[in-house]
Structure 1
């Protein structure tokens, strides 16, 4: 099992910093390039989402471990953030919000994550919200 846990500044350059840290972990574990690229893309999406939509602090946890019942491995990615900046459902009376127009052009990150991950989700802790994904690294 290989692990890494690190904190990131609350700015856009954090995506690149997270990718570099994860790439080292994946290379040391001899994860194939295709799987590594998928994992890095998912990580970037989760970190970007935390930076854009949540409060600081952003903490990343990466755990590469054997998959239960198989000879393969999987990467567990967890991105902790300080919680949502804006309450869910905080829109105009007609149910729209100022961000809706932006979301049409952007906001495809969760679709990308769901397509590349074998599992993904989000849960809350006392101190943060955690977005997670599992990537098969056969």
Structure 2
């Protein structure tokens, strides 16, 4: 995975529609936030949010999957979005294989960490997004 060479304010990465996508998204997010000099607390919150959003896209939506990160300089916030191809006709392998008490808490986690979050539908699918407050190291 290549790392961004400059601390851009907008980053988009296309991810494989597979269970490993959440780990890849965490690696990308950690590298980008390091370039943005985000503090450890901000990075940890962002990694959890991104992981939940990407996992939901892989388990409940069609491909493609894309991770979007945006640094909002005004207000010191980070906007994270995960775009997918829209709802899948059936859930992914992990969701189907586990009991009800083993899943379903992802958006509760996002709600606890984000200052705002939501969903936007568009002609190519859906983008689930969250915004967190950011502080620098």
Does 2:40 match 1:33? yes
Q: Distance in 1 between matches of 2:19 and 2:74?
A: 32
Residue from 113, 118, 125 that aligns with 1:116: 113
Q: How big is the shift at 1:9?
A: 0.4
Q: Distance in 1 between matches of 2:37 and 2:77?
A: 12
- Greater C-alpha Rg: 1
Aligned partners of 1:45 and 1:109 also within 8 Å: yes
Residue aligning to 1:86: 89
Q: Distance in 2 between matches of 1:137 and 1:30?
A: 10
1:1-138 superposed matches below 5 A: 2-68=9-75, 73-86=76-89, 102-138=99-135
| TM-score (norm. length: structure 2) | 0.83
Name the SS of the counterpart of 2:47 in structure 1.
helix
Q: How big is the shift at 1:104?
A: 3.0
Residue aligning to 2:3: none
Q: Deviations over 1:22-57 (max 9, x none)?
A: 111111111100111000100000000000000010
**Runs in 1 of length 4+ with deviation above 2 angstroms?**
101-105
| TM-score (norm. length: structure 1) | 0.82
* Gap runs ≥5 in structure 2: 1-7, 91-95
Q: Per the alignment, do residues 102 and 123 of structure 1 end up closer, same or farther by CA in structure 2, a change over 3 Å counting?
A: farther
Aligned partners of 1:5 and 1:61 also within 8 Å: yes
Q: How big is the shift at 1:64?
A: 0.9
Supply the RMSD in Å over aligned alpha carbons. Answer: 1.6
